[in-house]
C-alpha cells in the first residue's frame, strides 16, 4: 500500500491543523491506520491509531485529548485533527498502516504498523 500525507504547515501555539493521508494500492478496509512523528535526533513516536472499522481509537499520552484521528473508507483516507498545538508538537508526521489486527483493535505502538508513508512537516511557533 502507498500512503500520501498532506496538510502540514506552520501554525502558532494554540492553533489547529488537519493532516490527511490517502492510501492506494491495497484494500483500505483491511488496514488499521495511524500516525507517527519524528524530530531530528529523536526516535520516531507513536501518535494515534484507529481500528479497521473506525470505531476504536488509541492515542499517545502526549496528544491525548488534543488530537483526533478518523478514517473515511469511501475516500481511502485517514485524518488527524490536531488542536491546541504546542511547540513540542513540531515534527515530521508520517501516515502508517498495519495488517495484523481484528476489526475492533486499533494499533497501539509503532510495531503495529507495516507501512509508513512520506512525511509532512508540522511546525508550531511559540
DSSP state of 73: T
For residue 28 the three cell numbers come to: 483500505
Phi, psi at 85, each rounded to 5°: -65, 145
For residue 48 the three cell numbers come to: 494515534
> What's residue 26's pLDDT?
86
Q: Tens digits of per-residue pLDDT, 17-76?
A: 999 999 999 899 999 999 999 999 999 999 999 999 999 999 999 999 999 999 999 999
Q: Tens digits of per-residue pLDDT, 62-118?
A: 999 999 999 999 999 999 999 999 999 999 999 999 997 888 999 999 999 999 999
Nearest Cα to Cα of residue 63 among 16, 117, 111, 96 = 16
Amino acid at each position: 500500500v502507498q500512503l500520501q500525507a498532506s496538510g502540514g504547515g506552520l501554525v502558532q501555539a494554540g492553533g489547529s491543523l488537519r493532516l490527511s493521508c490517502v492510501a492506494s494500492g491495497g484494500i483500505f478496509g483491511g488496514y488499521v491506520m495511524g500516525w507517527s512523528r519524528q524530530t531530528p535526533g529523536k526516535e520516531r513516536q507513536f501518535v494515534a491509531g484507529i481500528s479497521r472499522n473506525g470505531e476504536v481509537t488509541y492515542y499517545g499520552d502526549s496528544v491525548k485529548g488534543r488530537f483526533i484521528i478518523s478514517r473515511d473508507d469511501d475516500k481511502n483516507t485517514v485524518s488527524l485533527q490536531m488542536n491546541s498545538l504546542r511547540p513540542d508538537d513540531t515534527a515530521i508526521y508520517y501516515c502508517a498502516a498495519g495488517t495484523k489486527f481484528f476489526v475492533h483493535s486499533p494499533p497501539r505502538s509503532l510495531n503495529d504498523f507495516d507501512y509508513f508513508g512520506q512525511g509532512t512537516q508540522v511546525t508550531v511557533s511559540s
